[in-house]
Amino acid sequence: MPPKKDGKQAPGKQLSRQDSQKRPSDMKRFSIHDTSGAAFDEQGDTKWGFDSEPPKWVLKGIDLDNGGCLMKPQEFFESNATQLKVHHRTYIRKDSAKTRHVFMFPGAGEHCNKFSYQVLAEMITDSGAICHGIDMQAHGHSEEFETQFIADHQDLVSDACQWLQAVMKGKDGHTFQFQSHAAGSAIAIIISAMFEDPNSPVAGFKDQFRGHYAMSPMISYAGVDNSEYCLMRCVSFFLPCCCQMSTLFGAENKKNSKPWEVYQTRRAKRLEVTLDPLQWELKQPLCTEKTFSDLSVHCRRVCNSVSSPIKLVHGDYDGVISLKGTEKMAKECEYGKGKEIDDVFWKLVGERHVIMVGNYGKELFEDCVTWLKEKDTEGGKSVNPMV
């Protein structure tokens, strides 16, 4: 439930960092398994060879034999950097090319991490690739799993490298690409730069890398050489991580106060907020402002060392990611009742430049899928790094 209007936290169990790291008793540990040799039986099911009893498949009502996308149940690996759970998921089709992979790095916000990514993953698999998605939202805030806390963006970089190494191990003839958004884009750009460093843990994968499609990355669009990085005071629209929209932009918010100032007054508190209609509870703030600003600065610094093709895409007004998801939340706030969704966005965003794609729809997704496929065919070579 949201905080009370007097600013006091509604009663509820507060989890310590130690408590939040405990594994649910019914959770089983899976290692990352090789999907390149997955065998489909006559019913269209897949045998992945799990160490324990295989989990149920989620077919989402799609006929796998007629080109449907299969969403593999969520798994996790244990982070070498933090020993926390990092969740990931694989999307595949029966006719997917077994040698082409796309790694998806969603943003760290509540709505950055869900909604449209399911649709985009299915479109990517439709282009013939196996799609791998990682939870960038702090080691475990997805579906029934508890939110963890990111202390340092370097942990995310380390975790993503660990994930990439595990999935691509032994796949010498395979190629892969990155697709990303917001904080996930910053992480992916940093890893792209690490391919250039012969001493990095992922240097050996450079020749297999075919490019990176970044949607509203955490770096300004104009002039990567000298860009004014977007300091993540834009956590104002990582705001569902902190509080309901109706609280941050409602009566409690003073007329001229900035969203990030409201965020700063609350970020030290452990909020227990149910994000209607998602029914997720946020036990702790996901990231501090310093985490995001450090990440953005690092992202800007390494951009020039990336030689592989990158396409940076921003939305029409860089509003809010995922119209579908945000519309549901916006309707819950006082500005959303009886108004067009674009009007709600402008009211919520105000004068802030929020680096989240506003038109996460079919046209943008199709451009992403087409670009990735073309760059894989071209070998990711002989193109300007900033397309």
- Cβ atoms of 75 and 103 within 8 Å: the answer is no
Query: Do strands 209-217 and 281-282 pair parallel, antiparallel, or not at all (unpaired)?
Result: unpaired
Fold of the domain spanning 74-378? Rossmann fold (3.40.50)
pLDDT in tens, 209-223: 999 887 766 553 333
The pLDDT value given to residue 293 = 54
Mean pLDDT, range 122-131, rounded to an integer: 85
Mutual angle of helices 183-194 and 153-168, in 10-degree steps: 60
Mean pLDDT, range 259-285, rounded to an integer: 28
Q: Where are the domains of the chain?
A: 74-378
pTM of the predicted model over 0.75: no
Whether the pLDDT of residue 165 is over 90: the answer is yes
pLDDT in tens, 2-52: 444 344 333 333 333 333 333 222 222 222 333 333 333 323 333 322 222
The pLDDT value given to residue 93 = 78
The pLDDT value given to residue 372 = 92
In angstroms, the Cα distances linking 379 to 10, 290, 372, 376 are 55, 37, 11, 5
Confidence of residue 116 (pLDDT cuts 50, 70, 90): low
More confident residue, 70 or 148: 70
Q: Residue 40: helix, strand or coil by DSSP?
A: strand
Q: How far apart are CA 313 and CA 326, in angstroms?
A: 20
* DSSP 8-state assignment for residue 25: T
More confident residue, 238 or 66: 66
**Measured between alpha carbons, how far apart are the two ends of the chain, in Å?**
45
The pLDDT value given to residue 248 = 28
The pLDDT value given to residue 209 = 94
Confidence of residue 137 (pLDDT cuts 50, 70, 90): low
